[in-house]
Amino acid sequence: MRIGVLAIQGDYGKHRQMLESLGQEAPLVRTERELKECDGLIVPGGESTTLTILLQKHGLWDPLHAFGRRKAIFGTCAGLILLSREVRDHKLASLNLIDLEVERNAYGRQIDSFIDRVRLDLRGTPGSMEGVFIRAPRIIACGMEVTPLGWHHEEVVAAENEHIMVSTFHPELTESTLLHRHFLTKVSRFLHD
């Protein structure tokens, strides 16, 4: 499998390291041609407004939307904002690939960032991991076709639909490979359909 990592902004290098530690080919994606060569894609965190502008500048907005209709994408933090249906507190364009309503920077400024345990249920497999929340968004509402995967206290902080998986926190900044492994399983399902 080739799991691309969108490499136009954010800490894409950590996602790439995580995938390579799992034995996956993880090319960096900056062009439509590179995107087309991937079986799945990770959209890392960063700054959501800047990410939107750069995707349009690089001619990746429409190709990324089309990719997410056919193949699996995992968006973390700003990546989640970009993939969601609606951004409540900002008139930010989104790709509307997962039926979530989100709020940007919901926990406060950079100084309010924190690390805490996240409870997981990955399609019947319970677990937990450390969650690194950096100017994190909050999931306000999940649509009917969205399955929660992770919770911080009682708030949903990770979720998925058929093609898209998201987390409000940064799993790539931890030792845990649980979410990345779950994403690889998701990608492999599309390869065998």
Instruction: With 0.85 as the threshold, say if the pTM is over it.
Output: yes
pLDDT at 193: 62
Write down the catalytic residue from 15, 170, 180, 182: 170
Is 115:104 a contact under the CB 8 Å cutoff?
A: no
pLDDT at 47: 87
Active site residue 170: yes
CA distance 4 to 35: 7
Closest CA to 41 of 53, 137, 128, 55: 55
Active site residue 77: yes
Is 112:65 a contact under the CB 8 Å cutoff?
A: no
CATH homologous superfamily of domain 3-191?
Class I glutamine amidotransferase (GATase) domain (3.40.50.880)
Type of residue at 88:
R
40-90 pLDDT, tens digit per residue, is 999 999 888 899 999 999 999 999 999 999 999 999 999 999 999 999 866
Write down the catalytic residue from 15, 103, 152, 172: 172
78-129 pLDDT, tens digit per residue, is 999 999 999 986 677 899 999 999 998 766 666 668 899 999 999 888 999 9
18-30 pLDDT, tens digit per residue, is 999 999 999 999 9
End-to-end CA distance of the chain: give it in Å, rounded. Answer: 14
Lookup result for tokens 């890392």: 44
**CB 4: neighbour CB atoms within 10 A?**
28
Write down the catalytic residue from 77, 103, 152, 160: 77
149-180 pLDDT, tens digit per residue, is 999 999 999 999 999 999 999 999 999 999 99
